[in-house]
Amino acid sequence: MHILQLEQERTALKEKLVGGFSNQAKLIFIYHFFEKTLSTKNKNLIDSYLPEFLPDYLFYLKNYSVYGLPPAVTEQIIPQAEKTEMSDLAKEYQKFPELMSKLKGDVEKLRKILNGEPIETVEQKAFFPLLDEEAIKETGMTIGVLESVTIKIYRAKSESKFIIVPSEKEIEEKISEHIKLSWLIAVSIAKKYIKRIHPHHEVIISFDKRAGFCKGNSLGTALTLSFIEELLKTYNSPIVIKVGDAIAFTGGMNEQEKVTNTSEEIIKQKTELVFFTDILHLAVPKAEETAAIEKLNELKREYPNRDLRAVGIEDLNDLLNRRNLVEIKKINPAIRSARFARKNWAALSVILLFASSISFFILRDIDTNPHSFSADGNKLYIKNKSGKVLWAKDVSIPKHLTESPNFLMSAAKIVDINSDGMNEVVLCRERKTNSGDSLDYSGVRCYNYAGDIIWQYSFGDKIFSERGELNTDYGLIILDTLTINGEKSLFLISSNKTSFSSAIYRINIKNGERLPGTFWCSGHVLSGIIKDVDIDGKAEILAIGYDNGYEDVVFFAYKADTLTKVRPTTENYLIRNFKVSEMKAYLRFPKTDFDNYYAVRTPLIFTSDFSDDEKGEQYHFSVANVRNYSDAALSYEISYGFKDIDVIVDSDFRVQRDTLVAHGELKPPYTDTDEYIDLIKNKILYWKNGKWVKREEIE
């Protein structure tokens, strides 16, 4: 393949990876690009094009499911993955063996299903097939997921509200009316078994696979059943209705409780998707039963022992009468009584609390929306608008930094990830307990308003330098959020715990999925700001940290984008296989004679002190001598144009250094003089046109 063609393929792939395709589809896209690249057998091309997509490749490989696709598709992917694993470019991306073992095991299980062999019992949920229509158009393959929902129902004071997780405005608009209709039908069925149902509810509908491409009303049947099941459970009904084992449903539900059609083409595609899963019964609209059976027979020519049956359903009553699909049974009175007692005690506690509180405390206690947080050195407390603690997590935040806003914001962020009016909490520096031992969790987690995990992410990229390969033991802090190409991103900073590498990168704030765009540094990055410094509509990232190649404190700024690139450094420490970034600004702050006297490699940066002084139009940070960090500091103030720098000498720094000068340990001038300030300024270096220059050379 010609390099121009390969470049076109690369551009097209990048666009697909930021699109709304499923994980399966994205992995298949990367697979085909890798095949074309590897087929050139041109090492220079392979070394140029593959590294950019290796993080995405690994991510989608981790999250890939063999189910819903013929096993032959995965059996093509596995050899390429193993080949990629053995290459010099990818051998540092660990967990390939575990991934390969899992994929091979899943393919083996899928083949057992297709051969009619017995497998483990499938979870009792109302599954429904979702088609990735854009991927089908792109590839000609039937691609999608077997989805299900988890329903939570709470009483509400006024109108009923439906919260969809993950929240996508486009999806909500397409399915909101069908959700409301399914809810009304479910309530009408539940009223047959429940004497009194509260008029208003808050209903949380969580898509378990978080597919994000649900369209139309074909989930109506499954959703109605899920609503009925949870309503009866919520109201402690004497009757329970549960979906049977390994059942999937497709088809909508209209006002007359009739199962509505999709189309013959779609029902065949959904039958094919379900065929390559562990589902045993597929309930379809009665009018489309023939088309489903026709597709089923076609697929069984290759796999005659596959035990999947298509069942035509006319309406909800027909469905509820099918004991091979739905279980209806009375609940054990003892179990029901225990549930009733628990609920009464909870209600009594609430009533007593309300009775003993004035209206302020009533409002405070019913507000479950996270608004702020605080820390005490061991725990981080999430509070509502009135300051009431909603829940807490164990964290590793030094007690002396619990009053530092900058430091706390690097550990936690409260943000409405899906614009539904209810805030979520993104949290790192978290500790978890395992068998009584306190262990650091070096990733980031997103919690809902109740403190339940929505998603979590851990950074584990492997990279190379002239000094060798670096491990993947990284710590992580939060930078900020930024919308790129219409997609809200959470920017994070990960620094290697035992080596020098660090990365600034982004994930999708809605689902924790890694997104393109990583900036590698040869030295730890300690704090940062996201800001459009030149008012051109494109944000920059400004940060402070270290450069291990130069052994200096550095301040730098670059354009936030979707590329993978590295910060310039010395040849020995340069991170390989990525483009060296253009820098909006890059400044080095060499050690002072005071630092050299104590033989410190680099000064200590106050991570909580980095700030943007908008009034003074300057950026501020402070450093201290690592052996006298409590009382000997210098501060730097960098102008908005990144050229002019003021040096502020702390009084204790002056006293300690001047003492050394007076005793002949350090050379004059004394510290609190223009001469000494100029000496410091003259050592500051600026990156310009690929080399380091002094202030007078940057005009």
Is 578 within 8 Å of 566 (Cβ atoms)?
yes
CB neighbour class for 471 (10 Å; exposed up to 12, middle 13-18, buried from 19): middle
- What pTM was computed for the model? 0.52
Q: Residue 190: which residues within 8 A CB-CB, separation 6 or more?
A: 197, 228, 231, 232, 235, 237
Q: Which residues pair with 393 in a beta bridge?
A: 380
Residue 370: pLDDT over 70? yes
* Greater model confidence, 107 or 356: 107
* pLDDT reported for residue 655: 84
The mean per-residue pLDDT over the stretch 345-373 comes to 58
The mean per-residue pLDDT over the stretch 405-417 comes to 90
Residue 485: pLDDT over 60? yes
559 confidence band (pLDDT: 50, 70, 90): very high
383-391 long-range contacts (CB < 8 A, ≥24 apart) are 386/360, 388/364, 390/449, 390/450, 390/451, 391/450, 391/451
CB neighbour class for 689 (10 Å; exposed up to 12, middle 13-18, buried from 19): exposed
Residue 28: pLDDT over 90? yes
> Which of 202-216, 323-337, 520-534 has the highest average model confidence (pLDDT)?
520-534
Is 295 within 8 Å of 303 (Cβ atoms)?
no
The mean per-residue pLDDT over the stretch 196-210 comes to 86
For residue 333, the tally of other CB atoms under 10 A from its CB is 9
* pLDDT reported for residue 214: 56
* Greater model confidence, 425 or 164: 425
Residue 346: pLDDT over 60? no
Beta strands in 20-142 (DSSP E): 128-131
Is 221 within 8 Å of 283 (Cβ atoms)?
yes
**Alpha-carbon torsion angle 287, 293, 294, 299, nearest 10:** 150
For 38-73, how does the pLDDT look when each residue is reduced to its tens digit (9 = 90+)?
888 888 888 788 888 887 888 888 888 999 999 999
Average pLDDT, the chain: 86
CB neighbour class for 352 (10 Å; exposed up to 12, middle 13-18, buried from 19): exposed
The mean per-residue pLDDT over the stretch 105-129 comes to 87
606 confidence band (pLDDT: 50, 70, 90): confident
| Percentage, residues of the chain above pLDDT 70 | 88
* Greater model confidence, 90 or 510: 510
95 confidence band (pLDDT: 50, 70, 90): low
Rounded (10°) angle between helices 264-275 and 289-300: 40
Residue 351: pLDDT over 50? no
Q: Residue 290: which residues within 8 A CB-CB, separation 6 or more?
A: none
Residue 621 CA, chain-centre distance (Å), reads 30
**Helix, strand or coil, per DSSP, at residue 176:** helix
* pLDDT reported for residue 626: 60
